[in-house]
Structure formats: structure tokens, C-alpha cells
């Protein structure tokens, strides 16, 4: 049993295709087919059911894939540890985060980090929601993710380090009747059409939870993945919106009032996620401690240094 056979097998399971696995591994499809035939012959089991161009993992193959996944992750961990011992202050670092974080926060962070640690090569990956980011760090596609702290229980394989909190704000046109109110209530907000992030986002979930607690109906007239165009629609009176200050850090319109509604919907916490059981390279440790330390305040009294 060879490592390249196991790698080919696992890529087929992930992609559902011999040809896609071959493309991913930069080898021919015939080479992949040959490896799988030899692997099935050695194991004495059928790993795939082949129906023309379609490939389906057998029940036995699925069980075997779980073992292979663990083995390949352990092997990757070993390689990372050995590389790290030889590289010291050099290395590779992959970071995944949301559009708002990559646009509004990370440019200065990455610029300063690369200047301080020029030997570390950084790769950035963008996804819309934190829920879409978490599988990437769990599957080993990236080293760390920077995202919102989700309300549900943290995955047992993940560690989360708090960075900072952001207020939630209500975006309304300056001539809107809510602009002049001294105290805004939930009942005031639900009278207006809402522009919100799509379902699954941390902000959307917190807003929906608050309305549900009070049994209040609401009308969503626009769903977005990123906040870029929201202000234009608020300006034209299409609806009002609820976002965090992270999303509007560099885009303040003179035609909009930004009203803090954290007393109604709470703040939103952001931090760094990484796998507990994955080797923490020097590059990872340097970045995590560098990023966490950028926020001078620590209202929650949480640990600032990375656990060894």
C-alpha cells in the first residue's frame, strides 16, 4: 500500500471523479485508475461502484476513506512539524476570512506582518460566511480563519481566541423618521423593510433570534453576501439595514445615519480559529500572537498569548 494510492483514493472520494482527482494531483486518469485497481487488489475490497462515467463510493470504501483521511492529516502534520523545525522564522501561512475582514482590517495587518516576518509567505482565502470558513480549517485547507464567534457550541477540534467586539448599527436615510428618534425599539424597526445578510450569517442569526424572542414579524426585502451596495439601497429608501461596525469601517455616507443598536441586538465578537490537534508552526504562532495583540483593549480578560 503506497501513499500515492491513498492520496488518489481520497481525492476521488472528495471530488467524486477519477478525472478531477487526476487533475488535482497533476497525473493522468489512467495512472489514477491503475493505482485504485492495485489498491483494491491489495485490500481485497471494492472501493468504488463504477456506472459509466459516474463513480460512487461503496459502503466499505466510505469507512476506509475515514481512516485514510485521518492518516493523511497525520502525515501532513508530521511534514509541517519537520519543515517548521528547519525553517524557523520562515514558512507558509494560509488565512481564510470574510470579505469585510479582508477588505477593512487585513490589508494593514498583512502589510505589517510581512514587513516584520519577511520569510513567511502568506495566502489569503475569501468566503462570505464564518460557517463556510470553519470546514476549511477543520479539513486542513487553511491554517487559521478569522471570523465571527458563532452562537452554537464550538467544534471540539477547534480552538477559538477572542480578538475584539464590534457594535451593531442601524442604517437609515437621514430624512427617515427613525433618524430623529432618541430611543429606538424593536417595534420601530419591524415597521420598515429590512436589508440583511443572507441566512446563516452571525449578524442575521442574532437579529432573527431577537425578533423571535419577542414574537415579532419582520419583512426582509433584500439579502446580501457583502455590504458593498447596501448603503446605496438605504439611501434610496428601499429599506433599512443592520450591520456591524466592521462592515462599514471605511464607507460612511453623508446621506445615512448610523445608529448604535447594540443594546437591542448585542455586539458581535471576532477572533481566530485553528485546529487543536494540528501542529502550530512558527509562522502560525507568530501571526496569531501578532494579530491578537493589535487590539489594545482586552475587556474580557482573555489570554493574549498562544498556548504552546
pLDDT tens sequence across 26-84: 888 888 888 888 888 888 888 888 877 778 888 888 888 888 877 777 777 666 666 66
Residues 271-284, mean pLDDT to the nearest whole number:
87
Q: DSSP code of 157?
A: T
pLDDT tens sequence across 143-159: 999 999 987 678 888 99
Tell me the domain boundaries of the chain.
3-84, 89-165+268-293, 168-265
Fold of 168-265: D-Maltodextrin-Binding Protein; domain 2 (3.40.190)
Q: What is the pLDDT of residue 77?
A: 63
Q: What is the pLDDT of residue 180?
A: 82
Computed over every residue of the chain, the mean pLDDT equals 85
Q: Name the E strands within 85-239.
A: 91-97, 120-126, 144-148, 158-166, 168-173, 194-197, 220-224
Q: What is the pLDDT of residue 303?
A: 36
Determine the CATH number of domain 89-165+268-293.
3.40.190.10
CA end-to-end span of the chain, whole Å?
Answer: 35
Contact present, 246 and 166 (Cβ < 8 Å)? yes
Q: Is the pLDDT of residue 174 over 90?
A: yes
Contact present, 233 and 111 (Cβ < 8 Å)? no
Q: What angle do CA 11, 143, 70 make, to 5 degrees?
A: 45
Contact present, 286 and 120 (Cβ < 8 Å)? yes
Q: What is the pLDDT of residue 119?
A: 83
Q: Is the pLDDT of residue 297 over 70?
A: no
Determine the CATH number of domain 3-84.
1.10.10.10
Q: Is the pLDDT of residue 8 over 50?
A: yes
Domains 89-165+268-293 and 168-265 are alike in CATH topology: yes
pLDDT tens sequence across 201-228: 888 999 999 999 999 999 999 998 888 7
With a pLDDT cut of 90, the percent of the chain lying above it is 39
Q: Which of 258-267, 270-279, 289-298 has the lowest mean pLDDT?
A: 289-298
Strands 240-244 and 194-197: parallel
Neighbour-count burial of 47, counting CB atoms closer than 10 A to its CB (0-12 exposed, 13-18 middle, 19+ buried): buried
Indicate if the alpha-carbon torsion angle 175, 181, 182, 185 is positive or negative: negative
Q: DSSP code of 307?
A: P
pTM, entire model: 0.70
Nearest to 190 by CA among 169, 212, 211, 159: 211
Amino acid at each position: 500500500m503506497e501513499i500515492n494510492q491513498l492520496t488518489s483514493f481520497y481525492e476521488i472520494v472528495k471530488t467524486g471523479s477519477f478525472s478531477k482527482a487526476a487533475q488535482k494531483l497533476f497525473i493522468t486518469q489512467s495512472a489514477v485508475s491503475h493505482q485504485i485497481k492495485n489498491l483494491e487488489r491489495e485490500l481485497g475490497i471494492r472501493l468504488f461502484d463504477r456506472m459509466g462515467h459516474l463513480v460512487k463510493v461503496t459502503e466499505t470504501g466510505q469507512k476506509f476513506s475515514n481512516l485514510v483521511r485521518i492518516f493523511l492529516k497525520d502525515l501532513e502534520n508530521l511534514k509541517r512539524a519537520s519543515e517548521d523545525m528547519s525553517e524557523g522564522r520562515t514558512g507558509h501561512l494560509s488565512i481564510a476570512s470574510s470579505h469585510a475582514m479582508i477588505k477593512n482590517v487585513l490589508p494593514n495587518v498583512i502589510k505589517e506582518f510581512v514587513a516584520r516576518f519577511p520569510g513567511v509567505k502568506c495566502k489569503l482565502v475569501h468566503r462570505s460566511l464564518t460557517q463556510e470558513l470553519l470546514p476549511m480549517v477543520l479539513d486542513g485547507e487553511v491554517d487559521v480563519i478569522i471570523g465571527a464567534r458563532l452562537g452554537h457550541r464550538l467544534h471540539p477540534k477547534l480552538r477559538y481566541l477572542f480578538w475584539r467586539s464590534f457594535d451593531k448599527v442601524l442604517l437609515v436615510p437621514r430624512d427617515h423618521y427613525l433618524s430623529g428618534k432618541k430611543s429606538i425599539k424593536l417595534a420601530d424597526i419591524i415597521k420598515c423593510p429590512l436589508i440583511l445578510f443572507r441566512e446563516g450569517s452571525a449578524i442575521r442569526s442574532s437579529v432573527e433570534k431577537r425578533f423571535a424572542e419577542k414574537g415579532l414579524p419582520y419583512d426582509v426585502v433584500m439579502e446580501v453576501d457583502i455590504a458593498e451596495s447596501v448603503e446605496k439601497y438605504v439611501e434610496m429608501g428601499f429599506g433599512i439595514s443592520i450591520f456591524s461596525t466592521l462592515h462599514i469601517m471605511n464607507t460612511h455616507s453623508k446621506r445615512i445615519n448610523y445608529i448604535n443598536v447594540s443594546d437591542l441586538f448585542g455586539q458581535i465578537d471576532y477572533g481566530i480559529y485553528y485546529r487543536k490537534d494540528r501542529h502550530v508552526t512558527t509562522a502560525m504562532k507568530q501571526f496569531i500572537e501578532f494579530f491578537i495583540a493589535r487590539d489594545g483593549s482586552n475587556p474580557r480578560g482573555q489570554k493574549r498569548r498562544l498556548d504552546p
